[in-house]
Every structure is written in structure tokens, then in C-alpha cells.
């Protein structure tokens, strides 16, 4: 499903139109917080956990996962006009602002969880990520799906030197939350154009993100972001 956004010059409304003609109209200018800005990320679900740290699996809440962290979505102060369940585990862009304070109420005299939260004015569903493929500087392949991580190393027979080995092949079962975390790290690299290069060179990386309806492929220069991403993948067990 594809969505298109039209912003008027004064941001009076945001219209999201799907291929079947369904429309989502966002809030008026008066409802948009002046501190709001666009964030890329994933909307995920989580069980309610009270102040005592006790999980209540029967009650699900929504969180926004992005490069700067994970934030509770405070629906009472959000104005998006879309069924948030349609956006679960999707790559989305949200017009929002981040606050610190009470989650469950605005009354300081009422018991509530406290911490950072996000207030969302508008949600754009981009696409559903299904697979991430990363080839490191030695062409070892890291293949991540929603339930599996596979490391496929270069063998001496495949290497240009005839002697290099990327080590042992391994596979790890993962869940959707871990997949989303890996996707956010990959998305941050994909959106950081300062570390992109036009063509693959020895020692550089290749990142491919596959969605249900599209695909992104980039080449990345040697950098700290790439080292951190590769270290994270190598530590998956």
C-alpha cells in the first residue's frame, strides 16, 4: 500500500491516500505543536507494565522506536487520525514532539508512570520491512528476516586471495522486536547520506533493505556507524 502526503503552505491538513482510495486527514494547524518535527521509525506494541514493574500481558500499549530511542505514545495528547493498529511494525514517518512527564494522566495528584513520551500529530505509513541484507567490508553476508538472523561468511575458495575465511556460518532465531531494532539501526545508516558512496570499494559495506513494495540499496564508506552496526550483528546469539 502506498501513501502520498500533501502539505498546504500553512500545514492546514495532511492527507494520506492509499491505493484503494481510503484517506486519512490529519489535524488542523491549531492542533500541531510548534515543537513537532518529522521522525522516521517503527510503531511497536508492548505489554502494560505498572510502576511496580509488573507486566500485564492482556493490555497492549504502543511505543515509537526511532534512532534516538523508544518512546511511549501518549494517545491522550496525540492527534493522528488513523487506526494505529494499521501502523504496527511498519516503517513510518511521524510528525511529533517528545516530552518528559506523566504517561497515564495529566493530573500531578494522580499516580502515574513517568518518563519520556511522544505526542504524534500525524502518521505516514511508508512500507513494511521484510528483510535486511548487509555485506561487510570483506563481503561476508548478514541476512536478517523477522524471525531469523543468518551469517554467511566468505570461504577461502570464494575469496580473492584464496586464503581468507570469514569464519563459521551461524543462524540465530530472533523475534519481531529485535528485527525492528535492527531495522532502525539500518534505517539510520540508510538515511545518513554523509556516509554513502556511489560505488562499492574494498573495505566498504553494502546495505539492502527490502520492503513489501520497494527496496533500498546503498554503499557505505568506512565509518563508526558501520562499525557499530556490524558489532551489534556479530554479537547476536
pLDDT at 51: 63
**Statement to judge: residues 145 and 117 lie in one domain:** no
Res. 87: pLDDT tops 80 = yes
**Statement to judge: residues 163 and 226 lie in one domain:** yes
The mean pLDDT of 207-211, rounded to a whole number, is 98
| Domain, as residue range, for 83 | 28-127
Is position 58 within any domain? yes
pLDDT in tens, 163-172: 899 899 999 9
**Statement to judge: residues 142 and 188 lie in one domain:** yes
Comparison of pLDDT for 5 and 36, the residue scoring more: 36
Exposed/middle/buried for 23, CB within 10 Å: 0-12, 13-18, 19+? exposed
Res. 210: pLDDT tops 60 = yes
Pick the range with the lowest mean pLDDT from 29-43, 44-58, 116-130. Answer: 44-58
**Statement to judge: residues 118 and 173 lie in one domain:** no
**Statement to judge: residues 123 and 200 lie in one domain:** no
Q: Which residue, 81, 96, 127, sits at the end of a domain?
A: 127
Number of domains in the chain: 2
**Statement to judge: residues 160 and 223 lie in one domain:** yes
Q: Which residue, 106, 127, 148, sits at the end of a domain?
A: 127
Q: Are 190 and 230 in contact (CB under 8 A)?
A: no
Is position 111 within any domain? yes
Return the C-alpha cell found at 121: 500529530
Pick the range with the lowest mean pLDDT from 21-25, 63-67, 82-86, 184-188. Answer: 21-25
Is position 4 within any domain? no
pLDDT at 13: 39
How many angstroms separate the CA atoms of 102 and 112, rounded?
6
How many angstroms separate the CA atoms of 68 and 14, rounded?
25
**Statement to judge: residues 141 and 222 lie in one domain:** yes
Res. 49: pLDDT tops 80 = no
Question: What is the tally of helices (H) and strands (E) in the chain?
Answer: 2, 15
Q: Which residue, 127, 146, 180, sits at the end of a domain?
A: 127
226, 227, 233, 237 alpha-carbon torsion, rounded to 10°: -170
Is position 161 within any domain? yes
How many angstroms separate the CA atoms of 21 and 83, rounded?
16
Is position 203 within any domain? yes
**Statement to judge: residues 77 and 140 lie in one domain:** no
Res. 191: pLDDT tops 50 = yes
What CATH number did the domain enclosing 118 receive?
Answer: 2.40.50
Is position 195 within any domain? yes
**Statement to judge: residues 173 and 197 lie in one domain:** yes
**Statement to judge: residues 37 and 101 lie in one domain:** yes
Q: What percent of the chain has pLDDT over 70?
A: 84
Res. 27: pLDDT tops 70 = no
**Statement to judge: residues 38 and 111 lie in one domain:** yes
pLDDT at 50: 66
pLDDT at 201: 87
Is position 19 within any domain? no
Res. 202: pLDDT tops 90 = no
pLDDT in tens, 105-126: 889 888 888 999 999 999 999 9
Residue 30 — very low, low, confident or very high, per pLDDT cuts 50/70/90?
low
Res. 29: pLDDT tops 60 = no
**Statement to judge: residues 121 and 136 lie in one domain:** no
Amino acid at each position: 500500500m502506498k501513501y502520498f502526503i500533501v502539505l498546504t503552505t500553512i500545514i492546514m491538513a495532511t492527507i494520506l491516500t492509499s491505493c484503494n482510495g481510503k484517506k486519512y486527514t490529519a489535524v488542523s494547524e491549531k492542533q500541531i505543536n510548534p515543537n513537532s518535527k518529522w521522525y522516521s521509525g517503527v510503531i511497536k506494541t508492548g505489554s502494560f507494565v505498572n510502576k511496580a514493574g509488573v507486566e500485564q500481558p492482556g493490555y497492549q500499549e504502543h511505543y515509537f522506536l526511532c534512532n534516538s530511542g523508544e518512546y511511549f505514545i501518549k494517545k491522550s495528547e496525540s492527534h493522528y487520525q488513523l487506526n494505529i493498529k494499521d501502523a504496527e511494525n511498519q516503517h513510518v514517518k511521524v510528525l511529533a514532539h517528545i516530552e518528559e512527564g506523566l504517561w497515564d494522566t495529566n493530573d500531578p495528584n494522580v499516580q502515574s508512570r513517568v518518563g519520556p513520551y511522544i505526542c504524534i500529530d500525524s502518521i505516514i505509513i511508508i512500507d513494511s520491512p521484510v528483510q535486511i541484507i548487509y555485506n561487510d567490508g570483506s563481503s561476508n553476508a548478514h541476512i536478517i528476516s523477522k524471525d531469523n538472523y543468518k551469517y554467511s561468511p566468505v570461504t577461502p575458495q570464494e575469496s580473492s586471495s584464496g586464503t581468507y575465511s570469514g569464519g563459521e556460518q551461524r543462524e540465530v532465531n530472533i523475534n519481531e522486536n529485535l528485527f525492528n531494532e535492527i531495522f532502525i539501526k539500518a534505517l539510520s545508516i540508510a538515511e545518513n547520506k554523509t556516509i554513502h558512496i556511489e560505488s562499492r570499494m574494498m573495505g566498504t559495506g553494502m546495505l539492502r533493505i527490502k520492503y513489501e513494495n520497494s527496496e533500498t540499496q546503498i554503499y557505505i564508506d568506512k565509518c563508526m556507524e558501520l562499525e557499530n552496526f556490524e558489532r551489534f550483528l556479530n554479537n547476536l546469539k
